[in-house]
Structure 1
Amino acid sequence: MSNAVTHVPAASPEVAFEHFSREFEFETDCWDTHETLMLDEPGFVLLDVRGPALYERGHVPGALNLPHGKIIRRRMEAWPKETLFVVYCAGPHCNGAAKAARRLAELGRPVKLMAGGITGWLDEGFALAEGAEPSSVRALEAA
């Protein structure tokens, strides 16, 4: 008997493996981002692509605020061309991170989206930093 789940058959395990493996080229998660931000050289720039007021109320420690609508070639020239950017927004209900990722890719920049955004970060039990300036994860957790 067919239902909403089984009406379309699942992909073969080989096709599913390829599909889900490719997702890691485009996304990372909050846990991996948090753990990597604890390193001296995380290897990426974290961008909070929400507006400044939301950023100031609470953001991922270490994130720079660059609203997705303000991602322009001139601003991005501050970083070497090979710099990896990880972008996030409010959460799964928001597409600002996808807009930012699309724009960065259009500008020829490597990019990944942090799945879950602020919602996912809080769901993992991680603290937010407040204010207009970024602070590190280590500094926040040591306080």
Structure 2
Amino acid sequence: MTRTLAYPAAAPEAAVEYFGAELGFEVDPDDLVQDLEAGRTEGYVVVETRAPEAFAHARIPGAVNLPYRNLTAESTKHLDRDLVYVCYCESAVCNAATKGALKLAELGFKVKRLSGGITGWIAAGYPVEGSTAGTTEPGIRCAC
């Protein structure tokens, strides 16, 4: 028996449910950049969940900074509850986006997470704003 098939594949109906649910939780950089470049920004906000210094260093154009450590009912009372908040952080090995999405969801907001974080975004060649925009300085770090 192959390792690939050591566990049988799920039934198509189960796969539809599973993968459909997974896409309800995440968006990939390619889909997001296409929407941003086409001006399709209605219905969602891109949220950097790391510390303000990380946000100042490099961020997705148009993103807002909502550090996950500061998310409370009081700090989010001005946010529109009809929008989806697309959270991102440093990378797939940083969980600030997950922590931010969890806190926002606990506060009653609709959320998604951006796959790969800002490092995945930059690796794909997409534009950034901030103090390192247009440079080759690596300097991206967790900064949770």
Query: TM-score when scaled to structure 1?
Result: 0.82
The structure where helix makes up a greater share of residues is 1
Q: CA contact under 8 A between 1:36 and 1:42: conserved in structure 2?
A: no
Question: Can you give the 5+ residue segments of structure 1 that lack an aligned partner in the other structure?
Answer: 132-143
Over the aligned positions, Cα root-mean-square deviation in angstroms equals 1.6
The 1-side partners of 2:94 and 2:41 are apart by 29
Asked if residue 79 in structure 1 is aligned to residue 62 in structure 2, the reply is no
Report the 3-state secondary structure (helix = DSSP H, G, I; strand = E; otherwise coil) of the residue aligned with 1:46: strand
Give how far 1:115 is off: 1.0
Alignment of 1:1-143 (within 5 A): 1-3=1-3, 5-38=4-37, 39=39, 41-131=41-131
Question: Can you give the 5+ residue segments of structure 2 that lack an aligned partner in the other structure?
Answer: 132-144
Q: List structure 1 segments (4+ residues) > 6 angstroms apart after TM superposition.
A: none
The 1-side partners of 2:40 and 2:7 are apart by 47
The 2-side partners of 1:126 and 1:67 are apart by 22
- Size of the aligned set, in residue pairs, is 130
The 2-side partners of 1:20 and 1:42 are apart by 25
Deviates more, 1:9-18 or 1:53-62: 9-18
Report the 3-state secondary structure (helix = DSSP H, G, I; strand = E; otherwise coil) of the residue aligned with 1:72: coil
Percentage of pairs with the same residue: 36
Give how far 1:7 is off: 2.4
The 2-side partners of 1:43 and 1:126 are apart by 21
